Amino acid sequence: MARHDCVVVPGWGAFIANYDSAAYDEERSLLTRPCRTIGFNAGVTHNDGLLAQSLVRREGLSYDEAMRFINDSVAAFGKQLLKGSEVSMGRLGYFCRREDRYNEFVPFNDLDANDKFYGLTDVEIQTITALERARQEAELDQRPAAIVAERGLFVRKAIRVAASVAVVLGLGLMLSTPIIVDRANLNTAGMTPTVTAPQHQSLGVTVEQGEVPATFEVVESHPSIASVGNAAGKYYMVIATLRNQQELDAFKQKYAALVPHMKMLDYKGMMCVYVARSDDYSQLMSLRDELPEALRDVWIYN
C-alpha cells in the first residue's frame, strides 16, 4: 500500500487509498495538510495478480505456491474472526466482527506507513481581520479618545505589514516543500499482514529441530513467552528465517535476550527461528508486544 493505491487480496477484499486535499478551516484558523487514508472494500475480491506476483518476487515462490499461501491466509483470517478475535494487518489496521454479521476494517493512523505526505503538518494561519481585531481589543483601554485613535491608526498599519510578511513566508514554506505522489506502476506490492510468508534474510544450512544453546548473556526476560512453552502446539511463532549458521549467529547476538526461547524449524531448506508454540492461535498473537519492535510482524506457521 506504500506503493499502490489499490491492493486486492483475492477472496477477501481490496485495500484502497483515499486522498484529501489541503483545506482552510476558517473557524479554527487552520490550514490542514493533504492526507492519504486507507479504506477497505469487501466487494472487490477478484485476483488481479498484484499480490501474488509480489510474493513470487520477494519469497522466491512459484505462482501456484503464492496463491495457496494467500488462500490459506484468507481462510485463517475468516476462522479467527468467527472465534471473536481480531485479525491484524500489520501497520495498515485490523479487522473485527461486528454484531456477528459483518467484518469491519479499522485503519491505523500510521502516517509513516500509509501517508505519502508524511512530514507536512497543519498550519495555524489567522486572517488579517482577526489579527487586527484582536490587537485593537488588547490596546483599547481607558486612554483619551485622541490617543486611542492615533494609536489605532498606527496599529492597523503595522498589523497589515506583519500579516503580509507572515502570509508570504507561509506560502513560501508550502511551495518549497516537495509533495511526491508516485502513481507509477511499480513492481512490488507492499502489505504486511500478521500471517505472512517467511521473510528470509539468508538460508542454505538445514538445522535439526531442537533448542539452540544460550551462548550469550540474557539482558531481559520474557516470562509470558516462556509460559507458553516450546514443546507442543500446532502453531509456531516464527520470528526469523535464515540461510546459514553465520546469519543465525549474528541474529542471536542482536537478540541475545530471546536466545533461551529460540528453537529451529526447517521450512523448505530454510532455518526458521521460533520462540513459542501453542494450539491457540490468538494466544501466540497476544505475545507480539513482548518481542522487540523489529520482530513484531511475526509469521504464525501451522
Q: In sequence order, what DSSP letters do the residues of 57-113 get, joined into one string?
A: HHH---HHHHHHHHHHHHHHHHHHHHTT--EE-TTSEEEEEETTTEEEEEE---HHH
Secondary structure letter of residue 180 according to DSSP: -
Beta-strand ranges (E) seen in 152-280 are 200-204, 235-243, 263-267, 270-278
Buried b (16+ CB within 10 A) or exposed e, 121-134: eeeeeeeeeebbee
* pLDDT one-digit tens code per residue, 25-47: 888 888 888 888 888 998 898 88
* pLDDT one-digit tens code per residue, 88-105: 888 788 999 887 778 889
Give CATH 4.10.520 domain extents, the chain.
6-114
Element (H, E) at 171: helix 145-176
Q: What is the pLDDT of residue 172?
A: 55
Assign a CATH topology to domain 6-114.
HU Protein; Chain A (4.10.520)
Q: Which CATH number fits domain 200-301: 1.25.40, 3.30.70, 3.40.1280, 1.10.3470?
A: 3.30.70
Q: What is the pLDDT of residue 285?
A: 84
Give CATH 3.30.70 domain extents, the chain.
200-301
Q: What is the pLDDT of residue 67?
A: 93
- Nearest Cα to 189, choosing from 31, 15, 12? 15
Residue 5 scores a pLDDT above 90: no
